[in-house]
Structure 1
Amino acid sequence: MREYTSPGEIQVAADTNLTDALWEAASANPTRPALAHRVGDRFVEWSTQQFADEVQAVAKGLMALGVEKGDKVCIYSGTRIEWTVLDFAIWAAGGVTVPIYETSSAEQVEWIVSDSGAVALMAESTELKAEYDSVADKLPTCTNVFVIDDGALEELKQKGSDIDDDAVRERASSVVGSDMATLVYTSGTTGRPKGCVISHYNFAWDATQVAAALPEFLKPGESTLLFLPLAHIFARVIQTSCIRSGVLLAFSTGIPNLLEELKIFQPTFLIAVPRVFEKVFNGAQQKAHGEGKGKIFDKAAAVAEDYSRQSEAGKVGLGTKVLHAIFDKLVYSKLRDAMGGRVRVAVSGGAALGERLGHFYNGIGIPILEGYGLTETTAGATINTPAASRVGTIGKPVPGASVKIADDGEILLKGGLIFQGYYNNPEATEEVMDGEWFHTGDLGALDGEGFVRITGRKKEILVTAGGKNVAPAVLEDRMRAHALISQAMVIGDGEPFIAALITLDAEALPAWAENNDKPSKEAADLKDDPDLQAEIQSAIDEANKAVSKAESIRTYRILPDDFEVGNELTPTLKVKRNVVGEKYGDVIAEIYNS
C-alpha cells in the first residue's frame, strides 16, 4: 500500500477559533475542574469558569497594552499554569502566541522576536528577562515586557480593569479559522529556526481529530500531568485537546519533581517523549541491580515483553501467563505505583520509542500509544489507539488525515493539520509542499491496514565510502536502551566504516562505578576503563544485531561530557549532528585516521 486516509473525520467549521470551546465549556460546565497546579504538597484545581474568567481578565490587559488582532506576543517560559492562561488570553485578544523555550540563548530570542515582529514578551523569571534585555536594544517592535514570577498576570489584569467584558468577546469572536493562532519556531538541527504558521483551524481540526481517535481518555473525568515544554507543539495540542475534551490538566513543577508529583496528583494517563520512558525503565533496572535483585528484574522485563508480543499475536502461552502473574505482584505493580497508581495508558511522541520499550510497558499494564507529527503538521498526524495499536509503528493517520509513501520512501502527509507555511520564507515552504502534500523528511513504510512505520530520516541517511546506506536511528535507539548510555550518535558518512560517539548517563554512572569499585564516578575519568568499555561494547553488540555487517558499528568513542539541551541537543532531545560533528571533529578524525 502506498496511500491511506483514515475514516471518521469530525467536521470543523471554517469560522472556528480556539477560544470558542472555552467559553462554551464555561457556560455548560462552569464548576467542572479544568486546570490544577501545585501549591505546597497538593494540587489546587481551577474550575472551567475560573479559568475562563482569568483568561478574559488577562486578555483585557493585553488589549489595554494596545495588542491588536494579529499582533504577536512571545511567551518565554517553562511549562506552568500561567503559560496556558496567557496562551488563551492572547487568542482571546485576537493575538498570535509565539513560544520561546526557556533554554533558548539570547541570540535565539533575538531572532524569534525580531523575525516575528512581536509587540510584547512574557518572561518567566528575572533571569530570562535579563537574557532578553541583553538584546532588547535590537528589538524596537517589542515595547512591553513582563515577568511572570513578578506578578505579570495580576499586572495585566489591573491594566485591563476598565475594559468591558463584551469587548473581549467581540475581539475573540472576530477571529476565524484561517487566522494565525501561533507562530512556532522549529528548533531544527541546522540553521536558523523557521517560523511555522499554524492557524486556528489547524489547531482546532487536529485537537478535534485527536480527541475523536482517543475517546477512551480524552473525556471528562480523566486527568493528566503535563511536564513537556509548552513551547513545543506536542504539548500545546495536548493542552488544547484536554481543555476542549473536559480533561483535568495539571502542571508539573519540573522533571526533577515528576515522580513525587505523579504520586500526589495520580493522573489517569501520561504524555511524554521516549527519553522519559527510557529513564524510568533504566532507573528501575539500575535500582534493582543495586539491591541485588537484578536477575529478578531482568527476567520480569523479558516476561513483560514476551507477554506483550504474544498478546499482539493473539495467543499467550500458559507458562508466560503464570510468570506474568507472579511478576505482576513482585515487579509490575510497583512500577505502576511509581507512576501514580492510576495511569492506564500513556502517549509517546517527539521521537521513536523503540519496540523493546513499547512491549515492556504494554506488558506491565501501561500500554504506550506511540504517535507521530511535526510542528508543520500541528503535532498529531498519526497515532496508535487503544482500539487499533501495533507496537513498533506510529499508528494510523488521525481521522481525515492522509499518508502517502513517495517513490524514494519519504512519508508525505495531507489534511486539515498541515500548516500554512513558513513565516516570511516562501522558498522554504515551496521545498516541503507538493500541492496539498507535506514532505516530512522521514522515511517509512505503510502496511495493508494503514499503520505507518518509521525507517529513518531522509537527510540523516549515511552513505559509507563503499556506497552502503545506513539509517542511524535504528542503531542509536538500541544503544540508548542501555542504562549507562545517555546519547549516541552514529557517524561514517563518506567513511570506510560506521562508528559511534557515546555519552554516559550522569545518574546511572555513579552507581555503576560504586558497584564496580571504581575510584572515580566521572565520565572523563572512566571513559577508558576496560570494564566500562565492556559494558558499552555489549550495548553496541546488541544494536548491531539489528543491521547487516556493512551497517554495523565497528568502533566507538566515549565522550567526556553528556550532550546538553541548547548546545548539542534540541529542546526535544534530538541530536544536532552538525554541532556534535564540529565540536568533536578531532575525535572523529582520530577514529578514521588511526
Structure 2
Amino acid sequence: MSSIPSLLRDRIAATPDAEAYRVPADDGWTSLTWTEVGERVRGLALGLAELGAGPGRRVSILCSTRLEWILSDLAVLATGAATTTIYPSNTAAESAFVITDSGSTIVIAENDDQVAKIRSVQKELPDVTHVVVIDGSASDDGWVITLDSLSGSGQERDYDAMIGAIGSDDLATLIYTSGTTGRPKGVELTHDNWLYAAGSVRELDLISSADLHFLWLPLSHSFGKLLEVVMIDIGVPTAIDGRLDKIADNLGVLQPTFMAAAPRIFEKIHNTVAATQQREGGLKLRIFNWARESGIRVSRARQRGAAIPLTTRAEYALADRLVFSKLRARFGGRVRFFISGAAPLSKDIAEFFDAAGLPILEGYGLTESSAGSFLNHPDTVKFGTVGPPLPGTQVRIAEDGEVLIGGRGIMRGYHGLPEETAQALEDGWLHTGDIGELDSEGRLSITDRKKELIKTSGGKYVAPTYLEGRIKAACPYVSHVFVHGDRRNYVTALVTLDMDVVKPWAEAESLPADAGALREHPRMLEEVDKAIKQVNADQASYATIKKFAILAEDFTVETGELTPSLKIKRKAVEERHGETLDSFYA
C-alpha cells in the first residue's frame, strides 16, 4: 500500500466485521467495526473534499483524544490533504500560529469553546474558509458548520479514485514540536514515514488482533498518531477516551492488554500506591515494603540473567498473592505490558512495575522520526535503556555523544524552514539533540538532552533529568522536580507537590491541606529532604543537590511550564522562578 487511507481500505477488506474502536456511551461502552469506520470516514472525506480539501491542502484538527479525531484525520488523508495537529490546550494565539504557518484552509474543532478560540483570532486567519465543529452549533454566517452536516455531503465524488491518487511520498501530517525552547517548528511527515514506523512495530510481533489497546494519549502528539496507524496496520481493537481523570476507572472496566503512556502517568500511579501504604502504616505498610523488596530482588535477578533461588521464588509468590495481584487487578487484570515514551522513565519506577508483574517497555523516538525508533522487547527488556532500534532504523553515536538516526521514518523536513532542516538532517542523519550510548546488545541509553546538560562553574557536567526522575521515584508526594545549576557553583532544585497524593496524607497527619501552607511545613520539608539525600548518596559530590525549595503551585501546561507531552520547559521555569533560583546562590 502507498498511503494510510489504502492501509485502512486493506484492513476493512481483511477484517470487515472485527471490532475497530470502542468508545464511551451513556450505558457503558459501544463498538464500531472496521466496516462502520470505513463508511464514516468515506462520508467525512467526501464532505471535506466539497469544502476544498485535497492534494496540497492542509486541514487543522483542534480536538482532544476521541473517536472523531481519528475519523477526521483519516478523512482528511483520504482527500489527499494533510492533517495539521493542534493541542486543545493551545492558546488562541498559538493555534493561530499553527493554522497560518501550516497554510490550513479548514479547521476541525471539538466544541463551541474551541470554536470561540478560533473565532477570537478570525481576522488573523484569512485563508480559513470553514470551521467544522464536532460537538457544537453551526453559525449564521456559514463559517462554522457541524461535522454531522459535513458527513452528508459530497457524494458525487469518486472516493476510491481520491485514495488511489495519493502517493507514498505525499505529506500526511504536520506536527508542530511543542519544544522546551524556542518557536514551534512544523515537522513534515509523509505517508511512507508512518507506514514504515507502523510496519516496523508489526515486525516485532508484540501485539495482535487478540489484544485490546486503551488509548488516551494526545493524538496531537506524534506518539498518539503512531499508535493510531499501528492499530490499523495490525487490526488491534482500540478503546478511546482522552479524559485523564478517567484512566484508572477505564483500566478497571475495559481490562485492556496494553496501554502506552508518558512517564508522568507511571510516576503518579507509583506515588499514589506508595503514599496510600504509608498513610495506612502498621502491618499493611510492613507487608507492602517487604513485598516491594522481594519483588525488586526478583526483578534485578531477571535483569542480570541470574538464577532465582527456590526460597526467593516462594517468597515472591507470597508477595504476589498479598500485594502485587491486587495492583494488577486495579488495572483490569489483563495488562501484558505498558509502553512508555515521550520522556525518560526512571529506573526505580520501571523496577517497581516489573516487580508487580506489569512490565513497562520503554521506547524512544522524536516527532522528526515518526515517534518510534527504539523499543524494548518483553523478552529482553533492559531498564535504563530504550531498547534496540526498530527494524529498518539505523543509529550511530557522534563523537560528542549525540544520537544520530537514519531510515524511512525520518521526516521530510521542517515546514518552510530550509536552514533548520539542513542542520537537523546534516549528512543524511537526523541529529536528535540527545546524548546516548549503545550497549553490547545494541540497546540505546539516553543520558540527557544535549542542550539541557548542566555545566557547573567548576566545569563538571550534570544530567538534570536523571536526577529529577530519581527524586520523583524516591518521594511519593512530589509531582515535578526541576534541577538547576548551569554555570553555577553547585546544583539546586525546585520541587512541586502532587496534591492528589499529598492531601490525604496531610489530613491524616493533621497538617495544612493546601500547597501554599504545606510547602514550608517542617514535616513536608523533611519528606522531600529525605528523598534528595537518598538520591545524593549515589552521586558524585558535584552532582549532589545542595539546596531546594518547594513551590506553592505545580508546573502545568496552562502556565507554560510544561509542554503538552508533560516535559518541563526549562527556560520558562527559569524565567518564572528566577528569583527563587537566584536566592539559592545569594
TM-score normalised per structure 1:
0.95
Structural mapping, 1:180-195, within 5 Å: 180-195=171-186
Q: Give the Cα–Cα distance (whole angstroms) in 2 for the partners of residues 556 and 252 of structure 1.
A: 38
Q: Give the Cα–Cα distance (whole angstroms) in 1 for the partners of residues 377 and 6 of structure 2.
A: 27
Q: 2:298 aligns with which of 297, 307, 320?
A: 307
Q: 2:226 aligns with which of 237, 244, 268?
A: 237
- Give the equivalent residue in structure 2 for 1:10: none
- Give the equivalent residue in structure 2 for 1:540: 532
- Give the equivalent residue in structure 2 for 1:45: 31
The answer to whether the aligner puts 1:374 opposite 2:366 as a matched pair is yes
The answer to whether the aligner puts 1:170 opposite 2:161 as a matched pair is yes
User: Does the CA-based 8 Å contact 2:374-2:390 persist in structure 1?
Assistant: yes
- Give the equivalent residue in structure 2 for 1:492: 485
Q: Give, in angstroms, the shift of residue 515 of structure 1.
A: 2.5
Structural mapping, 1:16-95, within 5 Å: 16-95=2-81
Structural mapping, 1:269-288, within 5 Å: 269-288=258-277
Residues 417 and 253 (structure 1 numbering): CA distance in 2 closer, same or farther, change over 3 Å? closer
Q: Give, in angstroms, the shift of residue 395 of structure 1.
A: 0.1
Structural mapping, 1:355-370, within 5 Å: 355-370=347-362
User: Does the CA-based 8 Å contact 2:43-2:153 persist in structure 1?
Assistant: no
Comparing 463-472 with 285-294, which one deviates more in the overlay?
A: 285-294
Q: 1:327 aligns with which of 319, 329, 341?
A: 319
Q: Give the Cα–Cα distance (whole angstroms) in 2 for the partners of residues 188 and 474 of structure 1.
A: 19
Residues 41 and 359 (structure 1 numbering): CA distance in 2 closer, same or farther, change over 3 Å? farther
Comparing 64-73 with 283-292, which one deviates more in the overlay?
A: 283-292
Q: Give the Cα–Cα distance (whole angstroms) in 1 for the partners of residues 309 and 470 of structure 2.
A: 27
The answer to whether the aligner puts 1:157 opposite 2:151 as a matched pair is yes
Amino acid at match of 1:492: G
Q: Give the Cα–Cα distance (whole angstroms) in 2 for the partners of residues 579 and 89 of structure 1.
A: 37
User: Does the CA-based 8 Å contact 2:45-2:79 persist in structure 1?
Assistant: yes
User: Does the CA-based 8 Å contact 1:269-1:346 persist in structure 2?
Assistant: yes
Q: Give the Cα–Cα distance (whole angstroms) in 1 for the partners of residues 156 and 148 of structure 2.
A: 15
Comparing 93-102 with 545-554, which one deviates more in the overlay?
A: 545-554
Unaligned runs of 5+ in 2: 138-145
Q: Give the Cα–Cα distance (whole angstroms) in 1 for the partners of residues 538 and 487 of structure 2.
A: 22
Q: Give the Cα–Cα distance (whole angstroms) in 1 for the partners of residues 529 and 423 of structure 2.
A: 41
Q: Deviations over 1:304-344 (max 9, x none)?
A: 22111112222123333122111111111111111111111
Q: Give the Cα–Cα distance (whole angstroms) in 1 for the partners of residues 128 and 33 of structure 2.
A: 33
- Give the equivalent residue in structure 2 for 1:223: 212
Unaligned runs of 5+ in 1: 1-12
Q: Give, in angstroms, the shift of residue 41 of structure 1.
A: 4.2
Q: Give, in angstroms, the shift of residue 454 of structure 1.
A: 0.9
User: Does the CA-based 8 Å contact 1:38-1:253 persist in structure 2?
Assistant: no
Q: Deviations over 1:50-107 (max 9, x none)?
A: 0011111100000111212121001101000000000110010111001100100111
Q: Give, in angstroms, the shift of residue 459 of structure 1.
A: 0.2
SS in 1 for 2:131: strand
Q: Give, in angstroms, the shift of residue 266 of structure 1.
A: 1.1
- Give the equivalent residue in structure 2 for 1:108: 94
- Give the equivalent residue in structure 1 for 2:476: 483
Structural mapping, 1:518-529, within 5 Å: 518=511, 520-529=512-521
The aligned length equals: 573
Q: Give the Cα–Cα distance (whole angstroms) in 2 for the partners of residues 253 and 359 of structure 1.
A: 27
User: Does the CA-based 8 Å contact 2:433-2:449 persist in structure 1?
Assistant: yes
Residues 57 and 546 (structure 1 numbering): CA distance in 2 closer, same or farther, change over 3 Å? farther
Amino acid at match of 2:562: L
- Give the equivalent residue in structure 1 for 2:421: 429
Q: Give the Cα–Cα distance (whole angstroms) in 2 for the partners of residues 253 and 399 of structure 1.
A: 30
Q: Give the Cα–Cα distance (whole angstroms) in 1 for the partners of residues 280 and 135 of structure 2.
A: 42
Q: Give, in angstroms, the shift of residue 354 of structure 1.
A: 1.6
The answer to whether the aligner puts 1:511 opposite 2:504 as a matched pair is yes
SS in 1 for 2:404: strand
Q: Give the Cα–Cα distance (whole angstroms) in 1 for the partners of residues 517 and 583 of structure 2.
A: 19
User: Does the CA-based 8 Å contact 1:194-1:423 persist in structure 2?
Assistant: yes
User: Does the CA-based 8 Å contact 1:55-1:88 persist in structure 2?
Assistant: yes
- Give the equivalent residue in structure 2 for 1:592: 585
- Give the equivalent residue in structure 1 for 2:547: 555
SS in 1 for 2:361: strand
User: Does the CA-based 8 Å contact 1:305-1:356 persist in structure 2?
Assistant: no
Q: Give, in angstroms, the shift of residue 386 of structure 1.
A: 2.1
Q: Give, in angstroms, the shift of residue 157 of structure 1.
A: 1.0
SS in 2 for 1:564: coil
Structural mapping, 1:383-462, within 5 Å: 383-462=375-454
The answer to whether the aligner puts 1:251 opposite 2:240 as a matched pair is yes
Q: Give the Cα–Cα distance (whole angstroms) in 2 for the partners of residues 588 and 263 of structure 1.
A: 42
Q: Give, in angstroms, the shift of residue 248 of structure 1.
A: 0.2
SS in 1 for 2:151: helix
Q: Give, in angstroms, the shift of residue 253 of structure 1.
A: 4.5
User: Does the CA-based 8 Å contact 2:219-2:225 persist in structure 1?
Assistant: yes
The answer to whether the aligner puts 1:575 opposite 2:560 as a matched pair is no
Q: Give the Cα–Cα distance (whole angstroms) in 2 for the partners of residues 285 and 308 of structure 1.
A: 18
User: Does the CA-based 8 Å contact 2:275-2:477 persist in structure 1?
Assistant: no
SS in 2 for 1:454: strand
Q: Deviations over 1:196-222 (max 9, x none)?
A: 000000000011001112x131x2111
User: Does the CA-based 8 Å contact 1:42-1:264 persist in structure 2?
Assistant: no
Q: Give, in angstroms, the shift of residue 516 of structure 1.
A: 2.0
Amino acid at match of 2:241: S
Q: Give the Cα–Cα distance (whole angstroms) in 2 for the partners of residues 561 and 281 of structure 1.
A: 21
- Give the equivalent residue in structure 2 for 1:9: none
User: Does the CA-based 8 Å contact 2:84-2:175 persist in structure 1?
Assistant: yes
Q: 2:126 aligns with which of 140, 144, 147?
A: 140
Q: Give the Cα–Cα distance (whole angstroms) in 2 for the partners of residues 206 and 521 of structure 1.
A: 47
User: Does the CA-based 8 Å contact 1:475-1:546 persist in structure 2?
Assistant: no
SS in 2 for 1:503: strand
Instruction: Percent identity, please.
Output: 37
The answer to whether the aligner puts 1:295 opposite 2:286 as a matched pair is yes
Q: Give, in angstroms, the shift of residue 513 of structure 1.
A: 1.2
User: Does the CA-based 8 Å contact 1:197-1:422 persist in structure 2?
Assistant: yes
Q: Give the Cα–Cα distance (whole angstroms) in 2 for the partners of residues 97 and 486 of structure 1.
A: 34
SS in 2 for 1:396: coil
Q: Give, in angstroms, the shift of residue 355 of structure 1.
A: 1.4
Q: 2:194 aligns with which of 197, 203, 225?
A: 203
User: Does the CA-based 8 Å contact 1:422-1:429 persist in structure 2?
Assistant: yes
Q: Deviations over 1:91-139 (max 9, x none)?
A: 1011100110010011110110010010100111111111111111111
Q: Give the Cα–Cα distance (whole angstroms) in 1 for the partners of residues 343 and 413 of structure 2.
A: 23
Amino acid at match of 1:155: S
The answer to whether the aligner puts 1:118 opposite 2:107 as a matched pair is no
Amino acid at match of 2:585: Y
The answer to whether the aligner puts 1:128 opposite 2:128 as a matched pair is no
- Give the equivalent residue in structure 2 for 1:345: 337
- Give the equivalent residue in structure 1 for 2:309: 317
The answer to whether the aligner puts 1:266 opposite 2:255 as a matched pair is yes
User: Does the CA-based 8 Å contact 1:42-1:265 persist in structure 2?
Assistant: no
Q: Give, in angstroms, the shift of residue 358 of structure 1.
A: 1.3
Q: Give, in angstroms, the shift of residue 38 of structure 1.
A: 0.8
Residues 94 and 398 (structure 1 numbering): CA distance in 2 closer, same or farther, change over 3 Å? same
TM-score normalised per structure 2:
0.96
The answer to whether the aligner puts 1:473 opposite 2:459 as a matched pair is no
- Give the equivalent residue in structure 1 for 2:143: none
User: Does the CA-based 8 Å contact 1:565-1:573 persist in structure 2?
Assistant: yes
